[in-house]
Amino acid sequence: MLRDFCVAKPELITIKEVADFLHIAEKTIYRLAAEGKIPAFKVGGSWRFKRKEIEDWLEKQRNDKK
């Protein structure tokens, strides 16, 4: 699953791409980013995410639930 997310994709991704990958609302991603609960940064006022950081964050979330 994570491999499919990585193959031939750009390193920086948008709110929509993160929301689609995680199957949650864009509004939730905005909130998590603004609260510093998901790794993100702003470029020209728009949130951007490093694909590898999102994958690492997701894996950490999975491991923390165990």
> How would you write the pLDDT of the chain (66 residues) with one tens digit per residue?
555 555 556 799 999 999 999 999 999 999 999 999 999 999 999 999 999 999 999 999 988 876
Burial state string for 21-50 with b = 16 or more CB within 10 A and e = fewer than 16: bbeeeeeebeebbeeeebebeeeeeebbbe
Q: What is the pTM of this model?
A: 0.79
- Kindly report the CATH class assigned to 2-65: mainly alpha
Question: What is the rounded distance in angstroms from the CA atom of residue 25 to the CA atom of residue 16?
Answer: 9
